């Protein structure tokens, strides 16, 4: 036996660096469904089904391709219930030369694996994850010496590096780097949103659904109506479906929220990108081809490419630059527990109910629901970052620490003091009213900030401005908010504070 090659559940790519140069006849690929990874948070049942089923399909594909694979299926009685125990068992049995793996997506596991040479007495080779456009060292070099890190500048570097949407003279296509100002349309039902891509469960997925229902019945969400792709080929079909049906409108309605459409024009590709079933560059190139072919406008394609080579790469860079201290950041000093309705959806706030209900059914909510509804509420209510981060990590099918943490702790909760966003994304009900049709179906009145039926977002918005004056008042992008707050009559400010205090004291009843 030469080497053990460890492949984790989010590394399902035939081009994985750990497989490079390996010896198919002698090396042993190791994949394992283990209790410690499946239950360190309350993972949504659909997320467990997706990851286990995609792992099983990938292991089969490797075997068909001539690899020797040791695959541990989940069972609560398995003697090895963590990745470390699986490797320790196999190391005893096979006496390998070393363990080869690719950088994992989580500090916790990275720490463990980095110590295996001591704890298990086996040499471990951790290879860079080449599935990203920007590697960890390159990001650190870019960040060095900068007072503030801004995604927009990083994104331009990535455009130049990849050549995506660049002219032969090295200029951005269309004469602009960013077409975001074109991308803020409300959506009133037209054009109709396409049905999402569906893949019906095959025998492997059906077996995994039964397993998850049996052993993870206490976990959040449902396995019902599982329709995600679970192989690279199916994920390619999902990509083609997006490009044909949703990409043309992706830009225009990127910020819209709907009372009766869960998916709108989003790609729903994050689960596949984050587990290796799709390659980010191939996805972007497919979108750019659609623009060249006149099948999608530039504002849509640029917006989509920016999310992938801009935001996605940027948050990963920040994660590895600032961990492990980053996870403990709480610069706004928040201490509130997560309201229980985040788990049940049982709230009269229509926008929150709809976002949480979609999350429970689909293990998915689109970016604006995550940022401006459930995230915004947590920021306004002062929920402690670790509680809301744990929720996002649990409930979404695409949630892995490297991408979930910076988005939640940095972008949503502003708990890092502004590393990720130059200003907090705090917004009143007015924003949700402008971008959605929720408010007309809500128990609360969006036009009111005080009174029994006043939209809770409104008074909480002023409360956060008021209580964090020291944190925010010197931010030039917040000056206007403080001017507006200060020019309100003292009685009005008093009434807003009183309503917000009531909302916070009775948060579980909202």
Name the residues that contact ligand FAD, by CB under 6 A: 266-270, 273-274, 304, 307-308, 311-312, 315, 366-367, 370-371, 375, 392, 396, 398-399, 403-404, 407-408, 411-412
Residues 320-349 close enough to bind ligand SF4 by CB under 6 A: 349
470/332 Cα distance (integer angstroms): 10
CB of 433 to ligand SF4, least distance (A): 6
Nearer to ligand SF4, 438 or 499 (CB): 438
CB of 254 to ligand FAD, least distance (A): 7
Which residues touch 454 (CB under 8 Å, ≥6 apart)? 444, 445, 448, 499
CB of 274 to ligand FAD, least distance (A): 5
Q: Of the ranges 43-51, 73-81, 133-141, 452-460, which one interacts with ligand SF4 (CB under 6 A)?
A: 452-460
10 Å CB burial of residue 345 (0-12, 13-18, 19+) is middle
Tell me if 455 contacts ligand SF4 by CB under 6 A. Answer: yes
Cβ atoms of 251 and 303 within 8 Å: the answer is yes
Which residues touch 404 (CB under 8 Å, ≥6 apart)? 389, 392, 393, 396
CB of 411 to ligand FAD, least distance (A): 5
Phi/psi at 72 (5° precision) = -100, 120
Tell me if 435 contacts ligand SF4 by CB under 6 A. Answer: no
Tell me if 438 contacts ligand SF4 by CB under 6 A. Answer: yes
Question: Could you say which of ligand FAD, ligand SF4, none residue 367 binds, taking C-beta under 5 to 8 angstroms by partner kind?
Answer: ligand FAD
Quick one: tokens of 78? Answer: 């398995």
Tell me if 503 contacts ligand SF4 by CB under 6 A. Answer: no
Quick one: tokens of 228? Answer: 């995600």
285/280 Cα distance (integer angstroms): 9
Tell me if 478 contacts ligand SF4 by CB under 6 A. Answer: no
Nearer to ligand FAD, 3 or 274 (CB): 274
Nearer to ligand FAD, 266 or 499 (CB): 266
356/351 Cα distance (integer angstroms): 9
Question: Could you say which of ligand SF4, ligand FAD, none residue 407 binds, taking C-beta under 5 to 8 angstroms by partner kind?
Answer: ligand FAD
Backbone conformation region of residue 95, classed left if phi is above 0, alpha if psi is from -120 to 50, else beta:
left
| Helices assigned H by DSSP within 202-344 | 203-215, 232-245, 247-250, 270-275, 280-292, 298-305, 313-322, 341-344
Beta strands at 3-6 and 98-102: parallel, antiparallel or unpaired: parallel
Question: Could you say which of ligand FAD, ligand SF4, none residue 431 binds, taking C-beta under 5 to 8 angstroms by partner kind?
Answer: none
CB of 381 to ligand SF4, least distance (A): 12
CB of 480 to ligand SF4, least distance (A): 21
Residues 411-430 close enough to bind ligand SF4 by CB under 6 A: 429
Helix axes 151-162, 313-322, angle to 10 degrees: 120
Nearer to ligand FAD, 63 or 282 (CB): 282
Sheet holding 28-32, edge to edge: 69-72, 28-32, 3-6, 98-102, 124-127
Nearer to ligand SF4, 50 or 187 (CB): 187
**Which residue do the tokens 């059914």 mark?**
361
Cβ atoms of 119 and 84 within 8 Å: the answer is yes
Nearer to ligand FAD, 312 or 499 (CB): 312
Residues 102-161 close enough to bind ligand SF4 by CB under 6 A: none
Tell me if 256 contacts ligand SF4 by CB under 6 A. Answer: no
Question: Could you say which of ligand SF4, ligand FAD, none residue 446 binds, taking C-beta under 5 to 8 angstroms by partner kind?
Answer: ligand SF4
Question: Could you say which of ligand FAD, ligand SF4, none residue 439 binds, taking C-beta under 5 to 8 angstroms by partner kind?
Answer: ligand SF4
CB of 85 to ligand SF4, least distance (A): 46
Collapsed DSSP state (helix, strand, coil) of residue 127: strand
Tell me if 463 contacts ligand SF4 by CB under 6 A. Answer: no
CB of 352 to ligand SF4, least distance (A): 7
Cβ atoms of 257 and 374 within 8 Å: the answer is no
Beta strands at 69-72 and 124-127: parallel, antiparallel or unpaired: unpaired
Quick one: tokens of 51? Answer: 């990851």
| Interacting residue with ligand SF4 among 457, 461, 462, 472 (CB under 6 A) | 457
Question: Could you say which of ligand FAD, ligand SF4, none residue 408 binds, taking C-beta under 5 to 8 angstroms by partner kind?
Answer: ligand FAD
Total count of residues recorded for the chain: 510
Would you tell me which residues interact with ligand SF4 (CB under 6 A)?
Answer: 349-351, 429, 432-433, 438-439, 442, 444, 446, 455-457
């Amino acid at each position: 036996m030469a080497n053990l090659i460890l492949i984790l559940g989010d590394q399902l790519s035939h081009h994985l660096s750990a497989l490079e140069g390996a010896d198919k006849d002698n090396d042993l690929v190791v994949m394992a469904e283990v209790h410690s990874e499946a239950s360190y948070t309350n993972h949504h049942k659909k997320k467990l089904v997706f990851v286990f089923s995609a792992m099983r399909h990938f292991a089969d594909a490797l075997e068909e391709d001539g690899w020797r694979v040791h695959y541990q299926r989940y069972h609560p009685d398995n003697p090895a219930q963590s990745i470390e125990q699986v490797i320790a068992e196999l190391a005893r049995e096979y006496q390998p030369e070393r363990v080869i793996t690719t950088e994992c997506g989580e500090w916790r596991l990275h720490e463990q694996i980095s110590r295996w040479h001591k704890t298990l007495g086996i040499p471990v080779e951790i290879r860079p994850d080449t599935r990203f456009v920007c590697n960890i060292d390159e990001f650190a070099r870019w960040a060095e010496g900068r007072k503030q890190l801004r995604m927009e500048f990083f994104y331009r570097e990535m455009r130049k590096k990849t050549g995506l949407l660049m002219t032969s003279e090295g200029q951005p296509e269309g004469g602009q780097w960013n077409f975001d100002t074109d991308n803020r349309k409300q959506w009133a039902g037209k054009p109709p949103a396409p049905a999402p891509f569906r893949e019906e469960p095959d025998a492997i997925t059906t077996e995994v659904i039964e397993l998850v229902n049996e052993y993870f019945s206490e976990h959040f969400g449902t396995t019902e109506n599982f329709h995600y792709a679970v192989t690279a080929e199916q994920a390619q079909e999902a990509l083609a479906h997006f490009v044909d049906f949703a990409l043309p409108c992706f830009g225009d309605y990127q910020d819209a929220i709907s009372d009766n459409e869960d998916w709108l024009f989003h790609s729903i590709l994050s689960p596949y990108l984050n587990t290796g079933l799709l390659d980010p560059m191939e996805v972007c190139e497919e979108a750019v081809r659609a623009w060249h072919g006149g099948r999608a406008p530039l504002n849509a394609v640029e917006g989509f490419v920016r999310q992938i080579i801009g935001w996605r790469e940027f948050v990963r860079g920040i994660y590895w630059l600032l961990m492990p201290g980053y996870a403990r950041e709480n610069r706004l000093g928040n201490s509130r527990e997560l309201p229980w309705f985040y788990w049940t959806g049982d709230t009269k706030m229509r926008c929150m109910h709809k976002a949480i209900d979609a999350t429970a059914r689909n293990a998915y909510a689109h970016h604006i629901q995550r940022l401006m509804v459930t995230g915004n509420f947590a920021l306004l209510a002062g929920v402690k970052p670790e509680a809301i981060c744990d929720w996002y990590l649990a409930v979404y099918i695409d949630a892995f620490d490297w991408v979930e943490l910076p988005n939640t702790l940095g972008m949503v909760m502003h708990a890092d003091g502004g590393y990720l966003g130059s200003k907090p994304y705090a917004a009143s009900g007015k924003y949700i009213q402008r971008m959605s049709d929720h408010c007309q179906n809500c128990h609360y009145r969006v036009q009111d900030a005080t009174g029994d039926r006043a939209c809770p977002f409104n008074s909480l918005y002023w409360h956060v401005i008021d209580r964090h004056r020291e944190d925010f008042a010197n931010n030039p992008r917040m000056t206007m908010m403080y001017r507006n707050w200060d020019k309100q009559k003292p009685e009005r400010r008093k009434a807003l504070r009183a309503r917000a205090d009531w909302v916070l004291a009775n948060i579980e009843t909202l």
